[in-house]
Amino acid sequence: MARKPETQLLNAPTDVISAVKFSPKTNKFLLVSSWDASVRLYDIVNNTVRLHFNSQSPVLDCAFQNSTKAASGGLDNLVKLYDLNTHTESTLGSHSAGVKCVEYTGLLNGILTGSWDRTVKLWDAREKECAGTYEQSNGKVYSMSCVEEKLVVATSERKVLIWDLRNMKHYIERRESSLKYQTRAVRCFPNAEGYVMSSIEGRVAVEYFDSSPEVQKKKFAFKCHRAKGNDIELIYPVNAISFHSVYNTFATGGSDGYVNIWDGFNKKRLCQFHLYDSSISSLCFSDDGSTLAIACSYMDEAEKPPEPFPEPTLYVRYVNEQETRPK
């Protein structure tokens, strides 16, 4: 029997889905954090919740360290570690304000967290200790991404900080965001050439690490997740970005309820999926690029909430080459 191109997962969180992350090297397990104070592990092949951890506060992000360990951070300021084999959780440490971002760095085999307390911390999960706290006076951490030795941090004051993970004493570069409005997401290219960032004002910027003039000429920004209605342009936040690891193409998810796939090198949109239930709050491609997890959650963008109120939903879409490969 042919597999459906898209499946809705059962037992979705009951509040805004803050992050969806695939387990490394497989598209079977999906880690999901939510404002309903939960972290869930889904078996997407059998469409079941395999593990369910409850917290006291909304969980803002999560990440796999490896196939058996994961971490999360949230509004209780805590960084938590989960052992998915023994179904146990422990506290790795804390920030002095909400933990907005959680990333795993393979280079250091550590967990990176970014907080509204304006710090980035590196955690040694084996020793269960903080391996470094990196202060920066450029605003709250809103989004964070790392690839190879590069760490990119986007802040509330529209600054972009670039660190070399091999020497974290100070960031190596501070850039002003090329987007005029608040940053919503930043993700690094899998080939480590640069990063893509999005804003609340329906724009996406493609940036490059190499500061030479000929490379910097290639950077650009474009409008997306916009619609015309009664001669008025409706502009939606671009909440989520995820890269296809094989093709270096990327997906964006907006508060318009659409997911688009882009070829950033050739400045082209490859496709747009159907309209989803509500705003796209998080996206994640599996490591092999075969599957895209799509989280839908109403994010209080409208003056009046829609009727009936949309419940959070989770989908996994089995993408094909036509949708993701550069033409």
CA quadruple 159, 216, 148, 266: dihedral positive or negative?
positive
C-beta separation of 81 from 94 below 8 A: no
Q: Looking at residue 53, what is its pLDDT?
A: 98
pLDDT tens, residue by residue, 233-264: 999 999 999 999 999 999 999 999 999 999 99
CA dihedral 177→122→50→54, nearest 10 degrees, is -90
Distance from CA of residue 196 to its chain's centroid?
A: 12
What confidence category does residue 304 fall into, taking pLDDT thresholds of 50, 70 and 90?
A: confident
Does the pLDDT at position 2 exceed 60?
A: no
pLDDT in tens, 278-295: 999 999 999 999 999 999
Residue 274, number of CB atoms within 10 A of its CB: 9
Looking at residue 230, what is its pLDDT?
A: 83
The answer to whether residue 210 scores a pLDDT higher than 90 is yes
pTM of the complete model: 0.96
CA distance 305 to 295: 18
pLDDT, average across residues 31-45: 98
Mean pLDDT of 148-162: 97
Between vectors from CA 185 to CA 78 and to CA 143, what angle results, nearest 5°?
30
What's the pLDDT score for residue 303?
A: 75
Contact 142/154 with Cβ under 8 angstroms? yes
Whole-number average pLDDT of the chain:
95
Q: Say how far apart CA 220 and CA 207 lie, in whole Å.
A: 7
Q: What is the mean pLDDT of residues 7-27?
A: 96
What mean pLDDT do residues 90-110 have?
A: 97
Residue with tokens 């796209």: 280
Which architecture, in CATH terms, is 6-301+309-323? 7 Propeller (2.130)
Is the model more confident about 305 or about 138? 138
- Distance between CA atoms of 64 and 84, rounded to whole angstroms? 10
